[in-house]
């Protein structure tokens, strides 16, 4: 299933819960595609590394710089419309509309003329034709992507998790979609990679994370029992990121999905972190059981909150903030 179709489905994902935790209105805007979900440059790079590592057949390295902005979208739309046999006299106008141009900025004939007459635009269009529908990777990203992949393969554990061979007793799935129910709510997950050992009855989850910060890190339980991970655990480097970005809840969500799909199997989950800033360091982490337990508590709490908004059909005010909040 395409990424667009997966995100269009109604079921609740861990990313949805992240939005709900911030604001029920934001959650609903995300579901109704009313919120800007455009990725940052760092997120785009992370997605490319992620995609090329897991599904390399969908990508092609480009020796040219892909055209960006509306013109880039126009060229891609023009190519796709031409590919599916759209009548030639309609392609330019349809590509103009699909790429977000408006008459107040540029007229259709001006955009078409720019496309046809600028060498960089024609070069990009010809590249798309030669790539035959594959996703182009810009030359500027090539060194980073290849550096990350080389390191992922050089690390014994990450290589086994990401690229290990399977046999008659073992299956591996990339971008595995799982639809399941937890706490009475229909949920969905898209797991980077899972390895199913039918003989040992085990499922191993590998979640790939790119970072421009420290890959290496430590965590230590400092003995306090406030129930808040930030206060009860001292963390550094990437493990601090795991708390900051709630990766522990994400892994708990994924583990629940895998257990629903493979109810008689033992499930374990790992995070593979890789640096994108030149050193291409790699580390593989299995988070503390206490963190996964806390992740499950958050999932239950947020899904309970979700059901409240759904039943009342009031997504405007976060539960607990209806009155004056006093501390």
pLDDT band at 114, cuts 50/70/90?
Answer: very high
Q: What is the pLDDT of residue 283?
A: 98
pLDDT (tens digit per residue) in 216-226: 999 999 988 88
pLDDT (tens digit per residue) in 292-316: 999 999 999 999 999 999 999 999 9
Reply yes or no on whether the pLDDT at 4 is more than 70: no
Reply yes or no on whether the pLDDT at 231 is more than 70: yes
Closest to 57 in 3D by CA, of 149, 134, 127, 151: 134
Kind of pairing, strands 202-211 and 266-275? parallel
Reply yes or no on whether the pLDDT at 37 is more than 70: no
Closest to 15 in 3D by CA, of 301, 26, 5, 69: 26
Cα dihedral 177/41/72/37 (nearest 10): 50
Residues of the chain above pLDDT 90, percent? 69
Reply yes or no on whether the pLDDT at 1 is more than 70: no
Write down the residue that tokens 């819960």 correspond to. 17
Angle subtended by helix axes 247-261 and 237-244, to nearest 10: 70
Average pLDDT, the chain: 91
Whether 162 contacts 274, CB under 8 Å? no
Q: Which residues are CB-contacts of 235 (< 8 A; sequence separation ≥ 6)? A: 217, 218, 219, 242, 243
In angstroms, how far is the first alpha carbon of the chain from the final one?
47
pLDDT (tens digit per residue) in 88-108: 999 999 999 898 888 877 888
- For the chain, what are the domain ranges? 63-137, 152-312
pTM for the model? 0.80
What does the block give as tokens for 35?
């919120």
Task: Taking residues 235-246, report their average pLDDT.
Answer: 97
Residues of the chain above pLDDT 70, percent? 96
Whether 239 contacts 214, CB under 8 Å? no
Assign a CATH topology to domain 152-312.
Answer: Lambda Exonuclease; Chain A (3.90.320)
């Amino acid at each position: 299933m395409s990424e667009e179709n997966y995100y269009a489905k109604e079921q609740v994902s861990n990313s949805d819960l992240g939005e709900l935790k911030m604001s029920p209105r934001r959650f609903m805007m995300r579901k109704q595609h009313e919120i800007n979900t455009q990725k940052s440059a760092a997120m785009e790079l992370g997605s490319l590394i992620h995609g090329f590592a897991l599904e390399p057949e969908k990508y092609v390295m480009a020796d040219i710089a892909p055209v960006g902005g509306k013109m880039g979208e126009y060229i891609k739309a023009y190519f796709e419309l031409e590919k599916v046999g759209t009548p030639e006299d309609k392609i330019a106008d349809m590509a103009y509309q699909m790429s977000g141009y408006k008459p107040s900025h540029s007229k259709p004939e001006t955009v078409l003329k720019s496309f046809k007459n600028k060498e960089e635009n024609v070069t990009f269009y010809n590249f798309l034709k030669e790539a035959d529908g594959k996703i182009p990777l810009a030359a500027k990203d090539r060194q980073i992507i290849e550096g990350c992949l080389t390191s992922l393969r050089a690390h014994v554990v990450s290589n086994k998790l990401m690229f290990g061979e399977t046999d008659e007793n073992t299956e591996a799935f990339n971008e595995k979609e799982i639809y399941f129910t937890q706490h009475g709510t229909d949920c969905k997950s898209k797991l980077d990679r899972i390895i199913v050992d039918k003989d040992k009855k085990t499922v191993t989850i590998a979640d790939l994370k790119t970072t421009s910060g420290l890959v290496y890190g430590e965590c230590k339980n400092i003995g306090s029992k406030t129930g808040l991970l930030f206060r009860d655990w001292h963390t550094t480097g990437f493990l601090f990121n795991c708390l900051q970005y709630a990766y522990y809840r994400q892994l708990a969500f994924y583990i629940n999905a895998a257990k629903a799909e493979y109810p008689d199997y033992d499930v374990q989950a790992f995070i593979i972190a890789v640096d994108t800033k030149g050193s291409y360091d790699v580390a593989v982490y299995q988070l503390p059981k206490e963190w996964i337990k806390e992740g499950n508590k958050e999932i239950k709490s947020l899904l309970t909150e979700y059901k409240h908004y759904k039943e009342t059909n009031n997504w405007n005010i976060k539960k607990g903030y209806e009155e004056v909040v006093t501390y």
